[in-house]
Structure 1
Amino acid sequence: MTSSPARHQGRALPLPGSADFTDATHVFNLNARPEPEAAVTVRSVPEARETLALARERGMPVRVHSTGHGAGSVRPVRGGLLIRTDLSGGVRVDPARRTARVPAGTRWQEVVEAAAPHGLTAAHGSAGTVGVVGYVLGGGLSPYGRLVGLAANTVRAVELLTADGRLHCADEDRDPELFWALRGGGGGFGVVTAVEIELLPVAAVITGAAYWPEHAAERIIATWTRWATDAPREVTTTIRVMRLPPVPEVPPQLAGRTTVAVDGAVHTAHPTGLAAARRHAEDLLNPLRAIATPVLDTWSEGNATDVLRAHGDPAAPLPFLGDHMLLGDLDGDAIDRLLDAVRSRPTSPLVVAGLRQLGGAYGTPERAGGVLDRLDAAYSYAGSGPVLAPEHADAIRTHCDEIRRALRPWDTGRTVPCFVEDPDRPRRHISDEQMLSVARVRQRVDPEGLFREDVPTSVDSPPGGSSFL
């Protein structure tokens, strides 16, 4: 039997069983349902303020999400209140300043489409369905990442509603300490209602994905890693071993078989740079195409909106588990171990396992940013598989452990917040000293710990503290 909705100042608080509760608890990873006591979607600052007052009155800890893409990194928020932010106002682009103000709940598709008429784009994620706020404040690895660095470095201001109901605008001049902690420090500060991000000029993009048959995997990956060592910053790519199921959503060339895919983007800020961009694309793709003929190849010249489709992420929510780590430079032994581990089982529970190219501005940003502003690593590894039955979770974790052991010599011990999809997997994004500094900022803005459920606890936390590491 469903409980009656609680009320505060005449407003109902949705409880399990209601349509509003279902909408507010919607997440992209269906294996990571938040399971709060109550959940509400707020569409304005006054609504968020009213909801926080109710949480304080009832002593309910609060967790905040927008599109629900980061749900896999945290445990259920049982007994607490989940606030889903879906604020009105739309994306506002300032072409003169090359910035965009983005309300919480906005997805990257909206930002890219709003910026494109001005010859601008953003350091967005690999899919248009990903929410902007969680992505940029959790680091963010963009198809333009080697050129601009972590997406967190493009944040120019954060609008934040704290537990006491006050609205703050944190930037380099107004509360720079809070602004520093918000960019990579994790949750637990308040309800982010909007961010202002810097945009980058774009005249054209060469983008897409090419997929090769499994027999070419060793040569494709070895050739790609040799190219990646000295690749130009204008090019950011990903390589993945994929076992996609034979379902209607998957292209028939890829369904029911193992392939190795290379996708990414070659950025051109001005039309005069298009010739150089074509050379960069040829330097990447021609040696790979010489190894074997791709079973599917979508690389072509296009515009900024085309980049959102290159990675081919699923559009619909799925239940999945995975693992992630940041790796140092990879030699031939590392590639062999990775392939052996990924393909160690005829029926692997992982549908995708791959490497994102780092380096460039990821390691040497033009200017210092927040607590997480650079990555001292050469590659980001991620692998995942669907959880369609309870036993699948154990199989996926076991295989992830095998891959982690195989890659241990190259594991830096660090991760990126927005890539963690299992609260039981190792994660560490910042140093102990940085963690304690962030905790002091969090204590200042939320002294009563109203947002304590919004702070994922690391398996590697310092004594006496927890942090979104």
Structure 2
Amino acid sequence: MTVAGSAPAVAAPGEPGYAEATRVFNSAAVPEPVAATTVRTLDQVRTAIGWAEEHGWAVRVHSTGHGAGAARPVREAVLIRTEMDGAVIVDPRSRIARVPAGTRWEAVVQAAEPHGLTAAHGSSGGVGVVGYALGGGLSPYGRMVGLAANSVRAVELVTADGRFRRVDAESDPELLWALRGGGGGFGVVTCLEIDLFPVSAVITGAAFWPGALADRLLSAWLSWAADAPAIATTSVRVMNFPDVTDVPVELAGRSTFAVDGVVHADDPVAARRCADELLRPLRTIGAPLLDTWQEAEPSAVLRAHMDPTGPIPIVGDHMLLGDLDSAGAARLLDVIGEGSGSPLVGAGLRQLGGAYATPPAPGGVLDRLDASYSYAGSGLAADPEAAAALRAHCAEVRRALAPWNTGRVVPSFVEDFARPQRHLSPAQAAEVARVRSRVDPDGLFRDDVSPTRQD
């Protein structure tokens, strides 16, 4: 199956290169395409697309595979893994970073930090930039700068006809609009250019309390979050860490309640006041088991949420929620809190509002969120029985939170293809489909589009 004149080869199952090209973060959702390849140059991208067309297969694309669980099953298709050559290039004058596809956020943060800049990155340095940013992207700086998709200034891709396109607001504003949050299926993205913004210091970290204090801690956090300044973006989670050696001894094998996040600290006085208004009432409720909140450099933000580095088998769910009253908070803890029997390793809320709701300027098709909180919960699907138990519990959580569920999601947060994935209105989805058909009229990338299922 080797493609003449190209390297690496398009490989069938069992052939060299196939396992590497199909590697994903979520090992419970490893794709099984008819063939796969890892591409590092534009010529390799074109060769892979041409080979798929010649053999009558559709084309699918991924890089780090963090969204593998949410993607349509990959069977009758050729899977292209993008690990494009080149390093992150930061232009400190224009505050723009050029990011090859396959780059992880850690590389962007490290390149920008010496210039006093950072990006609207995620909570984990190992997540790929392209899928996260074009899928919306909930950043620890999100209440200050908005969805990560809004930071995308240019997209370079190869479309179904083998044509290389650089898409920006001048060359093709309609396609740029659709790419930013449209759900994929436009071609093979090879590079992004993204906005950076000045951040020289932050207050960041996580504090963990015994799970028995969750009701009081959640109530206090919700009261603070209702009118918190946009310089702060935080989350709360019930964590049920396994008793293993790579988990801090204070947290291993027990249920805890965590509060983590970032306060932008370029105005140190305002930042310290904001962090104190958040943390002091919580520390009064009880002494944390572990508390890492501190003033730090921006790269420390990537460690605050303590995301796993993977690969691990995951089953989970995600929803965007409206305002949570006391009844909503109680229902949440009924299904994820200590004593609930929840098999979820981590489940909780991310704070929205601020620039998430009112971005500084209009962006792509998904440029704002009409919701107050993002819910996400996931657990380890070590075997089929564990996976089934997790799916059943996710359904229970969804039923419990139904009165507050907006029916929308952020694509980069969805963990399970079987769950509702509506992130656009029907009118938006139809308009994006029209733009997609312009660049892929024969539907070569038709299965690479995020679903739009509702409850």
Question: Residue 118 of structure 1: which of 106, 115, 120 is its match?
Answer: 115
Counterpart of 1:244?
241
The Cα shift of 1:93 comes to: 0.2
Separation in 1, partners of 2:254, 2:317:
22
Q: Deviations over 1:146-190 (max 9, x none)?
A: 000000000100001101111111111111110000000011100
Question: Residue 276 of structure 2: which of 279, 282, 285 is its match?
Answer: 282
Question: Residue 65 of structure 2: which of 63, 68, 73 is its match?
Answer: 68
Gaps of 5+ in 2: none
Separation in 2, partners of 1:119, 1:429:
34
Separation in 2, partners of 1:90, 1:205:
26
Question: Residue 443 of structure 1: which of 431, 437, 447 is its match?
Answer: 437
- Taking structure 1 as reference, are residues 288 and 49 closer, same or farther at Cα in structure 2, changes over 3 Å only? same
Counterpart of 2:324?
330
Separation in 2, partners of 1:188, 1:6:
25
Q: Does the 8 Å contact 2:214/2:337 carry over to 1?
A: no
The 5 A counterparts of 1:151-170 are: 151-170=148-167
The 5 A counterparts of 1:217-236 are: 217-236=214-233
Q: Deviations over 1:324-370 (max 9, x none)?
A: 10000111111001001113865422111100000000000010000
Separation in 2, partners of 1:400, 1:422:
10
Separation in 2, partners of 1:287, 1:345:
24
Separation in 2, partners of 1:319, 1:164:
36
Separation in 1, partners of 2:422, 2:340:
32
What is the SS of the residue equivalent to 2:263? strand
The 5 A counterparts of 1:208-223 are: 208-223=205-220
Counterpart of 2:34?
37
What is the SS of the residue equivalent to 2:17? helix
Separation in 1, partners of 2:162, 2:356:
36
Q: Does the 8 Å contact 1:34/1:75 carry over to 2?
A: no
The Cα shift of 1:79 comes to: 2.1
Counterpart of 1:83?
80
Q: Does the 8 Å contact 1:32/1:75 carry over to 2?
A: no
Separation in 2, partners of 1:457, 1:264:
30
Counterpart of 1:466?
none
Separation in 1, partners of 2:24, 2:179:
22
Q: Deviations over 1:266-304 (max 9, x none)?
A: 013x4xx11111111101101100000000000000011
Equivalent position amino acid for 1:118 in 2: H
Separation in 2, partners of 1:456, 1:429:
9
The Cα shift of 1:460 comes to: 3.7
Separation in 2, partners of 1:136, 1:27:
18
What is the SS of the residue equivalent to 1:459? coil
Equivalent position amino acid for 1:267 in 2: H
- Taking structure 1 as reference, are residues 29 and 10 closer, same or farther at Cα in structure 2, changes over 3 Å only? closer
Q: Does the 8 Å contact 1:73/1:421 carry over to 2?
A: yes
Q: Deviations over 1:249-269 (max 9, x none)?
A: 11111110000000000013x
Q: Does the 8 Å contact 1:123/1:148 carry over to 2?
A: yes
Question: Residue 172 of structure 2: which of 161, 171, 175 is its match?
Answer: 175
Gaps of 5+ in 1: 462-469
Q: Does the 8 Å contact 1:60/1:80 carry over to 2?
A: yes
Counterpart of 1:467?
none
Q: Deviations over 1:226-256 (max 9, x none)?
A: 0000000000001000101011111111110
Equivalent position amino acid for 2:200 in 1: A
Greater than 6 Å deviation, 4+ residue runs: none
Q: Deviations over 1:117-140 (max 9, x none)?
A: 000000000000000000000000
Higher mean C-alpha displacement, 410-419 vs 343-352: 343-352
Question: Residue 353 of structure 2: which of 345, 348, 359 is its match?
Answer: 359
Q: Does the 8 Å contact 1:8/1:54 carry over to 2?
A: no
The Cα shift of 1:17 comes to: 1.3
The 5 A counterparts of 1:402-441 are: 402-441=396-435
Separation in 2, partners of 1:56, 1:226:
56
- Taking structure 1 as reference, are residues 264 and 344 closer, same or farther at Cα in structure 2, changes over 3 Å only? closer
Question: Residue 256 of structure 2: which of 247, 254, 259 is its match?
Answer: 259
Q: Deviations over 1:359-412 (max 9, x none)?
A: 000000010000000000000000111111111122111111111111111111
What is the SS of the residue equivalent to 1:400? helix
Separation in 2, partners of 1:60, 1:327:
39
Question: Residue 128 of structure 2: which of 124, 131, 136 is its match?
Answer: 131
Q: Deviations over 1:22-50 (max 9, x none)?
A: 11101000011111011100001111011
Counterpart of 1:101?
98
What is the SS of the residue equivalent to 1:221? helix
The Cα shift of 1:458 comes to: 3.1
Q: Does the 8 Å contact 1:157/1:171 carry over to 2?
A: yes
Q: Deviations over 1:59-116 (max 9, x none)?
A: 1100000111111101321121000000011100000000100000000000000000
Equivalent position amino acid for 2:409 in 1: T
Higher mean C-alpha displacement, 194-203 vs 74-83: 74-83
Separation in 2, partners of 1:457, 1:404:
19
Identity score, percent: 62
Q: Does the 8 Å contact 2:422/2:451 carry over to 1?
A: no
Question: Residue 197 of structure 2: which of 189, 197, 200 is its match?
Answer: 200
The Cα shift of 1:456 comes to: 3.2
Question: Residue 385 of structure 1: which of 379, 382, 389 is its match?
Answer: 379
Counterpart of 2:304?
310
Q: Does the 8 Å contact 1:33/1:76 carry over to 2?
A: no
Higher mean C-alpha displacement, 451-460 vs 419-428: 451-460
Counterpart of 1:465?
none
Counterpart of 2:450?
456
Counterpart of 1:7?
3
TM-score (structure 1 length as normaliser): 0.95
Separation in 2, partners of 1:95, 1:173:
22
Q: What's the Cα RMSD here? A: 1.2
